[in-house]
Amino acid sequence: MCGIVGCILNNKKAAPVLLGCVKRLEYRGYDSVGIATPTHKIQIKKDQGKIVDVDKNLKLADLPGTMGIAHVRWATHGLPTKENAHPHTDCENKIAVVHNGIIENYKTLKEQLEDEGHVFKSETDTEVIPHLIEKYMDAGEDLENATRHALTDLKGSYAIAVMSKNEPDKIIGARKESPLIVGKNENEYFVASDVPAILEYTNKIIYLNDYEMAILGENGVLIKDIDGNLIEREIEVIEWTPDMAEKGGYDHFMIKEIHEQPEAVKNTLLEASEIKKVVQKLPGFSRICFVACGTSYHASLTGKYLFESRLGIPTDVVLASEFGYSSRTLNEETLVILITQSGETADTLKALRIANKKAKTLAIVNVLGSTATRESDYVIYTRAGPEIGVAATKTYVSQLTCIYLLLIYLSGRHELLDILQKIPDHMVSALEKENKIRDIAKKYKNTPDFFFIGRGFSYPTAMEGALKLKEITYIHGEGYPAGELKHGPLALLDEGVPVVAVAPPGKSHDKTFGNVEEVKARGAQVIALGSRSDEILKSEAHEMIEFEDEIDEMFSPIPYIIPLQLLAYHISVEKGIDPDKPKNLAKCVTVE
Ligand code: AGP
């Protein structure tokens, strides 16, 4: 949820570099920011607020020293205040810690430490960490051992970066169930919760596993396990350029990422041979169970329609947060497919760990080296590139592409590849509708409610359209199977309520058209998505977004989602909301 970074530089001031790094991480947490650097004492500048505002007031980059740690916070324990902002320190201000995760037993630890005389300055769970390290350093341990000792006291999840004025040439990083990476350049070392944070400075990355520590300092980078044993770990060279993680001329990351979608799908298609290899390695299974959250859940739902209708394999879709309540139906005949952009979503990881005990697991993931990729039996990468906007867009279409590729290799229907290869062109055509969609956004930006309806393959598209609208415009949006409207929600339809009908040609079309007539008869404003030659739909709809006739319902989920993403984006901009940072949401949800 929060973003952390630390660096040791060679004859260069650390604070401006750390500031640049946390700016890249801002999408992960936006209520507070802080930087600490050690010289003869630990100096900290931190406050609640957006980085740009805090920097204006405190001049964060002015901190002296060639090493330091920094943090951007998304509050979980304690309100967003200056006191609760990281870095946190011990009683004597000799140790500073930044942390991402949740320390579940912090209350007990805090009570014990207070009984021993430690004085706390914040309401955070994190603050127990510097006090524990202080306790063990006071007992004679060095920073590395005291940190290791402190970690054994913690229950919960953490990625941390620690430094001390007593050893002002060292940063200790450690992780358990929260991501942490190490970056290396010649004589310059970094730790960070996320690759884009440090990509401007290095693309040579070491991924830490749970219960591992990184010791950055005069000996370079040492990776050790929690018992202090040295670990050999390969350095991976990340091909993302810093530019890929920047806005690239667009107003927001989200719109940049919406426009990157044809490219993202092409990149995913380049994974076809890898996906084929994974399919060849899979054990026999008679049942599939998709597990995911949010947008990834909607991709999974599309997977269910595809696999059941085109493969004939019984396929369940379970929300990861609900998985623990239904997992007993799993067995060795089940393939559990987890879809997660970040590979770090706490609900999905928990489900993965349950599934691993009973079935084979396959993760479809965007973030290389993330926890899901390391804990699943099989992995497929979506290769959509870094996605910064909180609202998932390009990773969704890449997830869908992976599902189509899986279907193709599982079914042996290689002729479908030709259709899939043409999808990026259809996506480009859909993006060309942006001006029209901007006009529709202006027209409906003040409406309090929206409905999105579709049947079969278009039902997940409707759900995803509604989720996009909700998360970045704060407008109430309901995604519904079109046929379900008459069983209740129709009562909510008043004069003028916009209903977005996803109605590509195919088996579901005529019935969905019937629902369009049904809502129109009740005064709804119909925004229809359908085929160019669908004259009858065009005649009923108040607005019509047209697609090439050859896109039938089976492949519609990829191109047809684009107008819905654009609609949400432009309404958000019209309303003056920052679509990249919707309130109450974060890119990666690392708490259950
Ligand atoms: C998507 O727009 C959302 N921000 C959210 O629903 C997201 O898809 C969900 O939290 C799952 O994330 P994951 O794919 O990284 O696991």
CATH number of the domain where residue 357 is located: 3.40.50.10490
Smallest CA-to-CA distance from 392 within 568, 247, 271, 553 is with: 568
Same domain, 50 and 149: yes
Per-position pLDDT tens, the chain of length 592 = 588 999 999 989 999 999 999 988 765 545 799 999 998 899 999 999 989 999 999 999 999 999 999 999 866 677 789 999 999 999 999 999 999 988 989 999 999 999 999 999 999 999 999 999 999 999 999 999 999 999 999 998 899 999 999 999 999 999 998 889 999 998 899 999 988 889 889 999 999 999 999 999 988 999 999 999 999 999 999 877 766 656 656 889 999 999 999 999 998 998 899 999 999 999 999 999 999 999 999 999 999 999 999 999 999 999 999 998 876 678 889 999 999 999 999 999 999 999 999 999 999 998 877 889 989 999 999 988 878 899 999 999 999 999 999 999 999 999 999 999 999 999 999 999 999 999 999 999 999 999 999 999 999 999 999 999 999 999 999 999 999 988 988 888 889 999 999 999 999 999 999 999 999 999 999 999 999 999 999 999 999 999 998 998 999 999 999 999 999 999 999 999 999 989 888 878 877 8
Q: Pick from 203, 221, 244: which residue ends a domain?
A: 244
Same domain, 66 and 159: yes
What's the CATH number where 59 sits?
3.60.20.10
Q: Is residue 549 part of a domain?
A: yes
For the annotated catalytic residues, the residue numbers are 2, 587
Question: Closest ligand 1 atom to the C-alpha of 392?
Answer: 2
Asked if residues 452 and 440 have their Cβ atoms less than 8 Å apart, the reply is: no
Task: Give, rounded to a whole angstrom, the gap between the first and last alpha carbons of the chain.
Answer: 11
Same domain, 305 and 207: no
For CA atoms 569, 575, 579, 582, give the dihedral sign: negative
Number of residues assigned to the chain = 592
Smallest CA-to-CA distance from 513 within 492, 487, 535, 546 is with: 535
564 CA distance to ligand 1 middle (Å): 17
Question: Closest ligand 1 atom to the C-alpha of 585?
Answer: 4
Same domain, 84 and 147: yes
Q: Pick from 220, 244, 268: which residue ends a domain?
A: 244
Same domain, 341 and 198: no
Question: Closest ligand 1 atom to the C-alpha of 391?
Answer: 2
Q: Is residue 584 part of a domain?
A: no
Asked if residues 537 and 528 have their Cβ atoms less than 8 Å apart, the reply is: yes
Q: Which residue range is the domain that position 133 belongs to?
A: 3-244
Place of tokens 């916009």: 498
Same domain, 254 and 112: no
Distance CA 253, CA 391 (A): 10
Same domain, 77 and 214: yes
- The model carries a pTM of 0.73
Q: What is the largest CA-CA distance in the chain?
A: 81
pLDDT for position 29: 47
Beta-carbon count within 10 A of 57 CB: 10
Same domain, 251 and 238: no
pLDDT for position 188: 95
pLDDT for position 25: 74
Q: Is residue 235 part of a domain?
A: yes
Pocket of ligand 1 (CB under 6 A): 293-296, 340-342, 345, 348, 390-392, 471, 588-589
Smallest CA-to-CA distance from 196 within 247, 264, 250, 261 is with: 247
Q: Pick from 421, 448, 479: which residue ends a domain?
A: 421
Q: Is residue 588 part of a domain?
A: no
Burial track 501-536 (b if 16+ CB lie within 10 A, e otherwise) = bbbbbbebbeebbebbebbbeeebbbbbbbbeebee
Smallest CA-to-CA distance from 22 within 189, 196, 216 is with: 196
| Number of structural domains in the chain | 3
275 CA distance to ligand 1 middle (Å): 23
Same domain, 316 and 181: no
Same domain, 173 and 217: yes
Q: Is residue 585 part of a domain?
A: no
DSSP assignment of 4-18 equals: EEEEE-SSS-HHHHH
Same domain, 67 and 99: yes
* For ligand 1, atom 16: residue with the closest CA: 340
